[in-house]
Amino acid sequence: MIALLHAAAWGVLLIAVVPYRFQVGSMVFGLGLGVTAYVLGVRHAFDVDHIAAIDNTTRKLMVEGRRPVSAGFWLALGRSAVVVVLAVLIATGARAATGALLDDSSRVHQTLGVVGTSVSGLFLYLIGVLTLVALAGVVRLFRRLRRGEVDPAGLDTSIAARGMLSRVVRRLTGTA
């Protein structure tokens, strides 16, 4: 199945992309870009987060008494499907909006510039606030540790129980 998917992708590149020399601005989408995307995609498949996700899923399935034989395949297929769907949506949207987006004086270009900058700025402020909240929690825990209110042996448990993400993950995985 994996070989078939690779062959299909190369077939699409060689039959439907390369001969037509698709172009956006001065960039030509051809064989060189396809090979580069393929090699970077294969390298990306071996990133630590992917290996950890497959490992965690495999371990969870084994604990549940199920066979995790194809866990990695389905994870990769799901992620690839999302990438393909998003690429098609982006290409369709870019084709429809190219003129308005490339014209610096267009209202769409100016509005999206303000929106993009505002969203980025708000996200950075949110990260800053969340970091300050986390820092305050760590400082409080450190002070409790110095006063002897927290057992040093149980410190890992105290730290692991903190934070919104750890609470959500504990509920989802049933490790509460």
Three-state helix/strand/coil letters over the chain: CHHHHHHHHHHHHHHHHHHHCEEECCEEECHHHHHHHHHHHHHHHCCHHHHHHHHHHHHHHHHCCCCCCCHHHHHHHHHHHHHHHHHHHHHHHHHHHHHHHHCCCCHHHHHHHHHHHHHHHHHHHHHHHHHHHHHHHHHHHHHHHHCCCCCHHHHHHHHHCCCHHHHHHHHHHCCC
pLDDT in tens, 38-97: 899 889 888 888 888 888 888 888 888 898 888 888 888 898 899 889 988 988 887 777
Of the pLDDT bands very low, low, confident and very high (cuts 50, 70, 90), residue 114 is very high
Phi-psi region of 174 (alpha: psi -120 to 50; beta: other; left: phi over 0): left
What is the share, in percent, of the chain residues with pLDDT greater than 70? 89
Q: Return the half-sphere exposure (C-beta side, CA atoms, 13 A cut-off) of residue 109.
A: 9
Do 75 and 50 contact (CB within 8 A), yes or no? yes
Of the pLDDT bands very low, low, confident and very high (cuts 50, 70, 90), residue 160 is low
What is the share, in percent, of the chain residues with pLDDT greater than 90? 19
Of the pLDDT bands very low, low, confident and very high (cuts 50, 70, 90), residue 7 is very high
- Determine the pLDDT at residue 24: 63
**Distance between CA atoms of 134 and 132, rounded to whole angstroms?**
5
Task: Specify the pTM.
Answer: 0.46
Backbone angles phi, psi at 112, to 5 degrees: -65, -30
